[in-house]
Amino acid sequence: MYKIGIIGDGYTAAELVRIIAGHEDLQTVAVTSTDNIGKGLAEVYPHLRAFTDLKCEATDVEVLKRRCDAVFLALPHGLSVPLVKELAGAGVRCVDLGADFRLKDSRIYEEYYELVHPAPEMLDQAVYGLPEIYREQIKNTQVVANPGCYPTSAILPLVPLLAAGLIEPRGIIVDSKSGVSGAGKALKAGSHFCEVNEGFRAYGIGNHRHGPEIAQELGFAAGVPVDMVFTPHLVPMNRGILSTCYCQLRDGATPGQVREALEAKYAGEFFVDVLPENIFPHTKWVYGSNLVQIGIHVDQACGRVILVSALDNLCKGASGQAVQNLNLMLGIEESKALRFAGIHP
């Protein structure tokens, strides 16, 4: 039984506790907080009452080193690096759900997060935590940078086509919609009920922090920098992301090759479901699950490829994927505690 610590007590932390409660090989032994120190976690999240009696505690790295085999860091950007340096240096495996290790170029991190990265030398050591793409590297690392929710929804459908040379690496458009839980638990004017309910808006236009993360991974797949536009939208639902990706078919490529490339890439993947022709995903189909579903449309007459993906931003977009990564890091069967269907209706 591996002892697990969770640094942070937001929505992703609660989702981690929920998943680990059904995991035979993991036991949550610590949840740390700044606002709820001394409170029972079940006081903060009553839906966990039957599953945990842990109390939120202050973050003490020395205590975590002694008590934990692995730690999830569910913190805002800029806070994970010093903790990961100490914990990983002591042999504790770390999965960071924040942004501090996702971008390989510290200059881009500084531009988009307005912080000087305190340990740029660690960026090459951390593995980007998309198991369907970096599985073998994840198995052998001490630090995983868990991907953002929007990037997961865009990278998984696009990478196989770029790697196969079937679509152009320019003119890619990623149009994404997310539920409000993606903004986190902290109170913000833009996520108040009366601001969100019966409304629909774009935000972060041209400068959202997940844009360079998507571009980085698409560029690695293409072998050249990509020309890409990413626009996120906020929709009045609790959980879920729907991304529609538009790209141009390369000369000589066919619709059949597009489908074959995606089906071949994900044929053995439990958590990526390439849907049959003319079926496109719905966020309700993956609600509460660690699944991402992908629908495909190719218009050969104009050479346009449209890919639609859906996932739960708190599960495959965050905590479920984090557990998937830790399973690989610890040599546990990858899908353990994650083989559950979405909740529908």
Q: What share of the chain is helix, strand, coil (3-state, %, to 5)?
A: 35, 20, 45
β strands within the chain, DSSP E: 2-7, 26-32, 56-57, 70-73, 93-96, 127-128, 143-145, 172-178, 201-202, 228-234, 241-248, 272-274, 292-299, 304-311
Rg, C-alpha atoms of the chain = 20
Please state which CATH class domain 150-313 belongs to.
Answer: alpha beta
Question: What pLDDT is recorded for position 300?
Answer: 86
Q: Check if 149 is active-site.
A: yes
Alpha-carbon torsion (29, 32, 38, 43), positive or negative: negative
Which is the catalytic residue, given 149, 245, 247, 315?
Answer: 149
pTM listed for this prediction: 0.96
Find all residues with CB under 8 Å of 269, minimum gap 6, and list them: 132
| CA–CA gap between residue 16 and residue 13 (Å, rounded) | 5
Sheet holding 201-202, edge to edge: 201-202, 228-234, 172-178, 241-248, 304-311, 292-299, 272-274
Q: Which two tokens stand for residue 170?
A: 């320019």
The one-letter code for the residue type at 143 is V
Return d(Cα 252, Cα 272) in angstroms, integer.
27
Q: What's the confidence (pLDDT) of residue 281?
A: 98
CA nearest to 18, candidates 39, 44, 43, 47: 47
Q: What is the pLDDT of residue 187?
A: 67
* Per-run averaged pLDDT (10 residues), the chain, 345 residues: 97 97 98 96 97 97 97 95 97 97 97 94 96 98 98 98 98 97 79 87 94 98 98 96 98 96 97 98 97 96 96 98 98 98 90
pLDDT given at position 2? 98
Angle, CA of 270, 276 and 277, to the nearest 5°: 150
Sequence-separated (6 or more) residues with CB below 8 Å from residue 332: 25, 326
What are the boundaries of each domain within the chain?
2-146+316-330, 150-313
Distance separating alpha carbons of residues 143 and 202, to the nearest angstrom: 33
CATH entry, 2-146+316-330, from 3.40.50.720, 1.10.3720.10, 1.10.10.10, 3.90.1640.10: 3.40.50.720
